Structure 1
Amino acid sequence: MDEEFRQRLDQRLEQLENRVALLERNLDLIAAGQRRSSLRSLWRRPPMWTFEQYPARMLNLNAFNSAPAIPANAPRIAMVTPSYNHAQYLGAAIDSILSQAYPNLYYHVQDGASIDGTVDLLKNRGDSVSWKSEPDKGQSNAINLGLAGVDCEIMAYLNSDDVLLPGTLAHVVNYFMSHPDVDIVYGNRIFIDREGLEVGRAVLPRHDGKTLRYADYIPQETMFWRKRVWDRLGPIDESFHYAMDWDFILRAQAAGFKFVRLPRFLSCFRIHDAQKTAATYAIGVREMGILRRRVLGFDPTQMQIRRAIAPYLVRQLAYHYAYKLGVLRY
């Protein structure tokens, strides 16, 4: 795909998103007059948080191959995968990063002394990936260990059960290089099951910092940030074991860093019974309460949270159906 065609395609996509923005405005007006039961229904099952949206089907990776060229002066990207007893999925995570064929990449797997065959898997990778297997203090600590002292310009972490989509690094780098004022980017996500089959998609509206104070809607596996963010904020707060990404995001927002949602599907979030998100939900509720209290200065009720995020959920619904109906194409 030549540069001129890519620019025309991006312009067309922006025009379509502007049309959706007009639809959002109308939907906001409609939502304002809806009964509370409608808002409760939207809160319970918004598409972006509904993982299994349709029967499992093969994920067509070829649909994501139209990525821009990687510049000759491509900035160095550092990525780490924290892992513990996830040999079943780790290989797919590694392959999804290495297959990007990004020429200036530092990629490291920080394993917490797994006993499920992870070490053998890593040994069999030879020199294709940097790794270390040693006891750690949890996921946040593993991320910090993996990124400590790394010389790079862009940073990210990908959990061992998630995967990048083809062309993600090329899209991210090209955007960062052409938008030097942007500090953090993220994008749309695809939900996959334990077998890697697609079961849903989340198409997100443009970034909304106000909503972010009440709920974390940013897909962590799609998020990349400039090293200057890390240098100013410091590492992941290891006192958080569930909401560490939301804590990092909120600290970045408070520091004035600029976020942008890219109009692309960037990564896949895997749904399975043993995933940490499901296993530690009670811890998550407590940590999210801590963050809301810190940012808002009070403990919001569930009704206050619902009201605060309802406009964003309505916009997300508009994007969801605009994509489903083919008005938006990513």
Structure 2
Amino acid sequence: MRSAELADTTDSTETVRVSILVPSFNPGAHFEPAIRSALRQLSALDEILIQDAGSTDGTQNLIAALVEADPRVKAVVESDEGQSDALNRALARAGGQWVLWLNADDVLVEGALAAVRAAVRDSPGATVLTGDHQLLRAGGEVVGNYHGKPIETRTLLRRSTCASFSGSVIIRRDYLESLGGFDKHLHCTMDYSLQFRIAETAPEQRSMPVPIGALRFHDASKSANLWRTFLVESFRLRMRYATSPADRLLGLVGTVEQLASFLVFRIRLTPGYRRLRGVLRD
């Protein structure tokens, strides 16, 4: 289905419904702030779809309390085959026209859904919305704001990460389903894979120059512990979608940059590094 055909079925902004997909497994203390950040922005039509793989850290009790308190929170607790499978299961239950992915340790920035509704109003033909994002320390302190980029193949090849942070990308549900959802064979880069497929089909996109999602970096996060898997999966995706020698060169540059970013990531979170960057920019 082409993006133009999808756009014909867009409902008015008064009936826009957003489905927020939340995969979880033992997310610990970060889970409640994640859900609360989204819950306080929901309209009566929106929903949060939690897909929990059987958490044993007390998360199930919190999920039960959230579901009982608010019918817009809908949860399923069952075994799955990993994060991508959990996302696909939540997607299969989604009833909204628009889908947003919120990891159980990240947050939705205040005003994010208002920005989404404004973008839908201003660009009724859009199929993909992209926004900026924030990086958070474990305790929730904001490290900085980062601009998202349009989702294009050459951008993905040369960057060390996704064109736009996964938590700041909102996608028409029918379009996401037409792409096949999330790749179950990937452990860490299902968002990167999805963005390559988005770039390949070239839907109409709309950029929102405000932060939508916030990525929380902590010692238990995938970024902290599975960087080698990120690197290998990302390299394979770059080579899969590189269609020329120039593209392959861009992919190699992106891989080197990604390796360097992993090596210095913890340094980037320190106040001293942020002050140095500010001085260099001035």
Whether TM-score is above 0.5 comes out as yes
Q: Secondary structure at the residue paired with 1:221?
A: helix
What's the TM-score, normalizing by structure 1? 0.67
User: What percent of counterpart residues are identical?
Assistant: 26
Deviations 1:168-201 (A, max 9, x none): 1121122123212221112111111111112222
Deviation at 1:108, TM superposition (A): 1.2
Which fold has the larger relative contact order, with Cα–Cα distance below 8 Å and residues 6 or more apart in sequence? Answer: 1
Please say if residues 229 and 257 of structure 1, whose CA atoms lie closer than 8 Å, have aligned partners that are also in contact: no
Deviation at 1:241, TM superposition (A): 1.2
Q: Secondary structure at the residue paired with 1:180?
A: coil
Deviation at 1:205, TM superposition (A): 5.7
Q: Secondary structure at the residue paired with 2:14?
A: coil
Aligned match of 2:155: 211
Please say if residues 87 and 121 of structure 1, whose CA atoms lie closer than 8 Å, have aligned partners that are also in contact: no
1:95 to 30, 36, 47: 36
Aligned match of 1:50: none
Given the alignment of the two structures, is residue 284 of structure 1 paired with residue 225 of structure 2, yes or no? no
Once residues 72 and 292 of structure 1 are traced to their aligned partners in structure 2, the CA distance between those partners, rounded to angstroms, is 37
Please say if residues 189 and 267 of structure 1, whose CA atoms lie closer than 8 Å, have aligned partners that are also in contact: yes
Q: Secondary structure at the residue paired with 1:231?
A: helix
Superposition RMSD in Å: 2.7
Deviation at 1:163, TM superposition (A): 0.5
2:46 to 105, 108, 113: 105
Please say if residues 96 and 163 of structure 1, whose CA atoms lie closer than 8 Å, have aligned partners that are also in contact: yes
Aligned match of 1:221: 167
Deviations 1:226-263 (A, max 9, x none): 12321321111101111101111111111121233211
Given the alignment of the two structures, is residue 183 of structure 1 paired with residue 127 of structure 2, yes or no? yes
Q: Structure 1: which 5+ runs fail to align?
A: 1-70, 310-323, 326-330
2:15 to 49, 74, 80: 74
Please say if residues 188 and 219 of structure 1, whose CA atoms lie closer than 8 Å, have aligned partners that are also in contact: yes
Q: What amino acid sits opposite 1:212 in the alignment? A: L
Once residues 307 and 137 of structure 1 are traced to their aligned partners in structure 2, the CA distance between those partners, rounded to angstroms, is 27
Please say if residues 74 and 173 of structure 1, whose CA atoms lie closer than 8 Å, have aligned partners that are also in contact: no
> Are residues 233 and 72 of structure 1, via their aligned partners in 2, closer, same or farther at CA, if it must alter by over 3 Å?
closer
Aligned match of 1:40: none
Deviation at 1:133, TM superposition (A): 1.7
> Are residues 303 and 137 of structure 1, via their aligned partners in 2, closer, same or farther at CA, if it must alter by over 3 Å?
closer
What's the TM-score, normalizing by structure 2? 0.78
Q: Secondary structure at the residue paired with 1:218?
A: coil
1:305 to 232, 243, 253: 253
Once residues 247 and 303 of structure 1 are traced to their aligned partners in structure 2, the CA distance between those partners, rounded to angstroms, is 14
Q: Secondary structure at the residue paired with 1:188?
A: strand
Aligned match of 1:38: none
Deviations 1:132-184 (A, max 9, x none): 22211111011111111422210111000100112211211221232122211
Please say if residues 207 and 261 of structure 1, whose CA atoms lie closer than 8 Å, have aligned partners that are also in contact: no
> Are residues 294 and 205 of structure 1, via their aligned partners in 2, closer, same or farther at CA, if it must alter by over 3 Å?
closer
Once residues 149 and 94 of structure 2 are traced to their aligned partners in structure 1, the CA distance between those partners, rounded to angstroms, is 33
Aligned match of 1:237: 183
Aligned match of 2:142: 198
Aligned match of 2:112: 168
Deviation at 1:265, TM superposition (A): 1.4
Aligned match of 1:316: none
Q: What amino acid sits opposite 1:87 in the alignment? A: G
Aligned match of 1:85: 26
Rg comparison, structure with higher value: 1
Moved more, 189-198 or 82-91: 189-198
Once residues 207 and 82 of structure 1 are traced to their aligned partners in structure 2, the CA distance between those partners, rounded to angstroms, is 23
